[in-house]
Structure 1
Amino acid sequence: MGNLVGSWRFKEPSTVEECDSTWGSDSESDEPVAEDDSGISDSVSPAESERAPGHSGDTSPQLSDSPESAPKMKRSFYAARDLYKYRHSYPNFKKSRQPNEYRNLRFYLNKIPLVPDGIYIEEILSKWRGDYDKLEHNHTYIQWLFPLREQGLNFYAHELTQDEIKEFQSTREAKRRFLAAYSLMLDFYGIKLLDKSGNVARASNWQERFQHLNESHHNYLRITRILKSLGELGYEAFKAPLVRLFLEESLCHNTLPNMQHSVLEYYVYTIRLPATRRRLLRYARKHYRPAHAFLWGPPLKRRGGGVGPEGGVGAGSSGIRAPAPTPEQQRRGEDSPSSPSASSRIIVSSHNAMMCQDLAGGGHKGYAGLGSSMVGLEGTILMAGAQRDRNEYNEIVPL
């Protein structure tokens, strides 16, 4: 049995869809499915062979309700893969250390300082709170305050191991300081921690801090790291309240518009329970504008329509469908020897549809007739060309 388990090899996902189990069978049930929710698994695994790039708030285009201005967007595979590995506890990553090498735990026990600054955790917690310039411009402390099982930019900081996580979670002093560090960073972002359940709200200085956060995009990577670290060290339940607040501020109140893409592409997907992700994404879909450009909904079914939950089309990776033909159009189509059969018709995504209209020289004026105009060889060729020309989001190295 041991040899059988040891010979199992993790298969890397190769598409966004393979990385995202949020919608599962496309069921509206909020029952959790079997995905690791603990932050610790029996088969954990080494730092990723490829470092998944991070993200920046300015990658999200300004959106409007006008179809003519709809952006040609798609989800980032690198983000999806990075968060898939995190949610599944880095499959096949096995790295052990001796207890005296648990540098993250020893730092939180105030026994060693962070390197290279030589600062102890107690000094940070007691003297840095409210020193927003220091928290903004120092780039070495965040990997020590919020350790992960992956390497960050500060190579003096050790990655967590499975054994160290277990030891950390059973050490009251370390957990107390970790929550104090979380509260310290929330204050920096204009947020206050309300209780031991992880509920959060705007702090008294939220306007000034949100204005800063809206423009300080490197903090979006820090927040991803903080959310991941919460899950690693036993505070998975703290993620959803913070992500929900960021969704509300960015989508409903427009106080953090530049954060919108990071919340949807990264923060939501740090949450391990698919049922919780579904609830957050349904909330986001209700408030996202333009609604047809929402990328994170359930995928359309391959056959029979693809209408998503709540009666709407599952946009994003699913896109839009051509309108149903009228009886007269059906009759003309059946009489025409060149009309395509039902089995050869193409369901066009919103991105490809708009690209093909542009390439065909028709702008978006022929949008309503998309089903008849884009079916066939010419439409297929245009779609293929458009796919090649589509730009990826800019990616940067994660903290």
Structure 2
Amino acid sequence: MGNLLGSWRFKEPSTVEECDSTWGSDSEDDEPAVEDDSGVSDSVSPERERAAGDSSPQLAEPRDSLPKMKRSFYAARDLYKYRHSYPNYRKSRQPNEYRNLCFYLNKIPLVPDGIYIEEILTKWRGDYDKLEHNHTYIQWLFPLREQGLNFYAHELTQDEIKEFQSTREAKRRFLAAYSIMLDFYGIKLLDKSGNVARASNWQERFQHLNESQHNYLRITRILKSLGELGYEAFKAPLVRLFLEESLCHNTLPNMQHSVLEYFVYTIRLPATRRQLLRYARQHYRPAHAFLWGPPPKRRGGGGAEGSVGAGSSGIRAPAPTPEPQRRAEESSPTASSGIIVSSHDAMMCQELGGEGLKSSAGLGSSMSRLEGALMMAGARGEMNDYSEIVPL
């Protein structure tokens, strides 16, 4: 029995929908039995709900003229593993190998640079060139249970996380490091609850952040590390600020996709993710292109009244023709010269409208993006985004 259990491995999800439990009956272990669905976002008016989910003049355009975008499966799977505490994670190291904790206790320097944490905390604040161009420190300041680009950095373990969370000196330095990075991004930490706001240098730093997109990978790592080391509550205020700046104030327009595809999904509580996504949906333009909303409703297996949801193309096919109207059209003298679509074919069109033309996607050109692999696939000249995370 022991060998059997030891050889069992968690089966990874194979679709975005399996990775994203935000809008369904979530089974994540860290979710309380009763979810509180209030607080973060303003309520969405019925008019805005209809605008986001129903047909509009834009949706009436020919299918070939609208871009078809899909959620990134690689991003969804990566963040699913994180939120579920890395299923299939290997056995922990021994206590004397707690390299991340030793670094934060100022006992060892980060490798390969040989810099101690106290030097970073006392000399690096405001040195934006160093924070921008050095790519080895971020894995030491914000450790995770996954390998980053600095292979000298050590991955966290569950035992080390417990030890870290019970060590006041390490936690104090961790929050100081978080404050330094926020200042680098033009943000200030307001209190011990994690609330944040624009810093005095926000205009200059936001402009840099909007153009220096490799920092979005760093922010994803920072958010993950906050959750690992006991500061899960700090995530939502920061993500909310990024949503507001990118969607409402247009100060970080290049960040929109990263906030919705990555930052929001580092948050472990589904109720909080829903609140943030409702806020985003309220301000996202064009509304029909919002991919992160609730999935289409399925009624009677046909989904005739389904709305645009996560992973859809943003295009809704017309509902099947009502039976009395169909019979009248078939019996009319001009029926033979027209094109008659059966209710079955109409249903198929609707499924294609809700899920996209999966079989017609072809391989397009590839380019480097966010220091990771970005593959763009085109179907009839339309783009699908498949961004594979390269964790920092």
What TM-score does the superposition give when structure 1 sets the normalisation length?
Answer: 0.76
Q: Is 2:391 aligned against 1:398?
A: yes
Q: Per-residue deviation at 1:110? A: 0.4
Q: Is 2:165 aligned against 1:169?
A: yes
Matches within 5 A, 1:286-297: 286-297=282-293
Q: Per-residue deviation at 1:323? A: 3.0
Partner in structure 1 of residue 119 of structure 2: 123
SS at 1:86 equivalent: helix
- 1:368-394: CA deviation from partner (whole Å, max 9, x where unpaired): xxxxxxxxxxxxxxxxx9499854445
Partner in structure 1 of residue 34 of structure 2: none
Q: Is 2:318 aligned against 1:317?
A: no
Between the aligned partners of 1:204 and 1:10, the Cα distance in structure 2 is 47
Q: What CA RMSD, in Å, does the superposition of the two structures yield over aligned residues?
A: 2.8
Q: Per-residue deviation at 1:345? A: 2.0
Partner in structure 2 of residue 37 of structure 1: 30
Between the aligned partners of 1:252 and 1:316, the Cα distance in structure 2 is 23
Partner in structure 2 of residue 21 of structure 1: 21
Matches within 5 A, 1:254-269: 254-269=250-265
> Structure 1 or 2: larger strand share?
2
Q: Is the 8 A contact 1:103 1:158 kept in 2?
A: yes
Change (3 A) 1:304 1:76: closer
Q: Is the 8 A contact 1:306 1:314 kept in 2?
A: no
- For 2:312, the aligned partner's letter is S
Change (3 A) 1:304 1:204: same
Q: Which deviates more, 6-15 or 129-138?
A: 6-15
**Identity, % of aligned positions:** 83
Between the aligned partners of 1:155 and 1:146, the Cα distance in structure 2 is 14
- For 1:349, the aligned partner's letter is G
Structure 2 counterpart of 1:340, from 342, 347, 370: 342
Name stretches of at least 5 consecutive residues in structure 1 with no aligned partner: 26-32, 39-64, 357-384
Q: Per-residue deviation at 1:7? A: 5.0
Change (3 A) 1:388 1:9: farther
Q: Is 2:344 aligned against 1:349?
A: no
Q: Is the 8 A contact 2:317 2:353 kept in 1?
A: no
Q: Per-residue deviation at 1:99? A: 1.5
Q: Is 2:153 aligned against 1:160?
A: no
Q: Is 2:102 aligned against 1:106?
A: yes
What TM-score does the superposition give when structure 2 sets the normalisation length?
Answer: 0.78
- 1:119-169: CA deviation from partner (whole Å, max 9, x where unpaired): 100110010000101000000000000000000000000000111011101
Q: Per-residue deviation at 1:398? A: 2.5
Q: Is the 8 A contact 1:333 1:339 kept in 2?
A: no
- For 1:274, the aligned partner's letter is P
SS at 1:186 equivalent: helix
Between the aligned partners of 1:5 and 1:166, the Cα distance in structure 2 is 25
SS at 1:11 equivalent: coil
Between the aligned partners of 1:98 and 1:315, the Cα distance in structure 2 is 42
Name stretches of at least 5 consecutive residues in structure 2 with no aligned partner: 32-56, 361-377
- 1:185-219: CA deviation from partner (whole Å, max 9, x where unpaired): 00000001111111111111100100000000110
Q: Is the 8 A contact 2:121 2:177 kept in 1?
A: yes
Between the aligned partners of 2:201 and 2:325, the Cα distance in structure 1 is 61
Q: Is the 8 A contact 1:300 1:319 kept in 2?
A: no
Structure 1 counterpart of 2:187, from 188, 191, 211: 191
Structure 1 counterpart of 2:131, from 107, 119, 135: 135
Change (3 A) 1:133 1:167: same
Between the aligned partners of 2:100 and 2:329, the Cα distance in structure 1 is 68
